[in-house]
């Protein structure tokens, strides 16, 4: 690949054009065609995008779109590579983009995984960008590249910003396409205080004393909290309140 040519074309236009399209996505199928288009526009070998932890407290099946060959995806699923893939293991805990050459490949499974990926045409170099969402959901935007090490370094330098922006736009489009919106919990100031003290380990009696509310008052607020948060008990409600950032109890 001629990096000079890439350098001279208008990176800005390429990005704003794509973003405009990504921003209009309403269905998952459109995400599929947009990863393909992004791949063509940026001249990379492959692009994939996966979203995790969407709107529930449990890890549900990730949403993913990719430009890899279907055979590789089948192979990946058959071999349960979600458990081996270092991208899935390490990228979510990072805020930095992760170059796949950073992975420790001494583990036999990891080594086999990358060599099979290479044979399946995934690409020579790889980069994964983590996206942290507002409510605990996160995504991984990955791209692969086939040219020389030198071109790869140059390419990353030129386009890292574009890929950061694209990653976040894909993330937001995925939330829209899957109707994952941040749940709106309208808790009163009192209800938040009750939750806060519960999160600090106080019993309802102690909370009542701290806030100067009767036992009945605490019971009343608690039942409202459970209804509003769709929780089965106060521990469940505290878990949800922390998860959705409604309260910030001390450690």
Number of residues interacting with other proteins: please give it, by CB under 8 A. Answer: 30
Minimum CB distance to other proteins smaller for 93 or for 214: 93
Site for other proteins in 209-248 (CB under 8 A): 245, 248
Applying the rule CB under 8 A, the residues between 165 and 194 that interact with other proteins are: 165, 167-169, 171
Q: What is the DSSP letter of 130?
A: E
Quick one: how far is CA 114 from the chain centroid? 22
Would you say 140 and 92 are in contact if contact means Cβ atoms under 8 Å apart? yes
Nearer to other proteins, 63 or 199 (CB): 199
Burial class (CB in 10 A: 0-12, 13-18, 19+), 1: middle
> Please, which residue, 135 or 224, has the CB nearer to other proteins?
135
Which residues, 6 or more positions from 53, have their beta carbon under 8 angstroms from its beta carbon?
59, 60, 136, 137, 138
Beta bridge partners of 127: 99, 143
First to last CA, the chain: 51
Taking the least distance from each CB to other proteins, the nearer of 35 and 131 is 131
Interface with other proteins includes 106 (CB under 8 A)?
no
Contact assessment for residue 165 and residue 14, using Cβ atoms and an 8 Å cutoff: no
- By beta-carbon proximity to other proteins, the closer residue of 153 and 223 is 153
Q: State the nearest-atom distance from the C-beta of 136 to other proteins, in Å.
A: 8
Binding mask 142-161 for other proteins (x = CB under 8 A): -----------x-----xxx
Contact (CB, 8 A) for 182 and 175: no
In the bound state with other proteins, the residue whose beta carbon lies nearer, of 6 and 73, is: 6
Distance from C-alpha of 208 to C-alpha of 210, rounded to nearest angstrom = 6
Please identify which residue in 51, 123, 133, 208 interacts with other proteins, judged by CB under 8 A: 133
Structure tokens at 195: 């939750």
DSSP one-letter code for 62: P
- Residues 57-96 binding other proteins (CB under 8 A) are 90, 93-96
Out of 102, 188, 223, 227, the only residue in the binding site for other proteins (CB under 8 A) is: 102
The residues binding other proteins (CB under 8 A) are 90, 93-97, 99, 101-102, 131-134, 138, 153, 159-165, 167-169, 171, 245, 248, 250-251
């Amino acid at each position: 690949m001629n990096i000079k040519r890439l350098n001279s074309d208008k990176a800005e236009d390429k990005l704003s054009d794509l973003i405009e399209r990504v921003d209009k996505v309403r269905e998952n199928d459109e995400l599929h065609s947009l990863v393909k288009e992004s791949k063509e526009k940026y001249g990379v070998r492959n692009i994939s995008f996966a979203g995790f932890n969407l709107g529930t407290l449990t890890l549900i099946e990730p949403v993913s779109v990719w430009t890899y060959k279907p055979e590789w995806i089948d192979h990946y699923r058959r071999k349960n590579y979600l458990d081996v893939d270092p991208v899935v293991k390490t990228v979510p805990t990072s805020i930095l983009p992760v170059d796949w050459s950073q992975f420790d490949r001494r583990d036999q499974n990891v080594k086999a995984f990358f060599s099979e990926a290479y044979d399946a045409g995934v690409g020579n170099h790889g980069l994964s960008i983590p996206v942290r969402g507002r409510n605990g959901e996160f995504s991984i935007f990955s791209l692969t590249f086939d040219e020389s090490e030198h071109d790869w370094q140059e390419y990353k330098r030129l386009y890292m910003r574009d890929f950061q922006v694209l990653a976040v736009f894909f993330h937001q489009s995925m939330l829209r396409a899957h109707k994952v919106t941040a749940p709106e919990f309208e808790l009163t100031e009192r209800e938040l205080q009750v939750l806060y003290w519960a999160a600090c380990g106080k019993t309802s009696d102690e909370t009542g004393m701290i806030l100067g509310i009767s036992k009945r008052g605490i019971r009343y607020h608690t039942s409202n909290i459970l209804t509003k948060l769709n929780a089965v008990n106060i521990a469940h409600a505290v878990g949800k309140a922390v998860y959705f950032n409604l309260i910030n109890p001390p450690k």
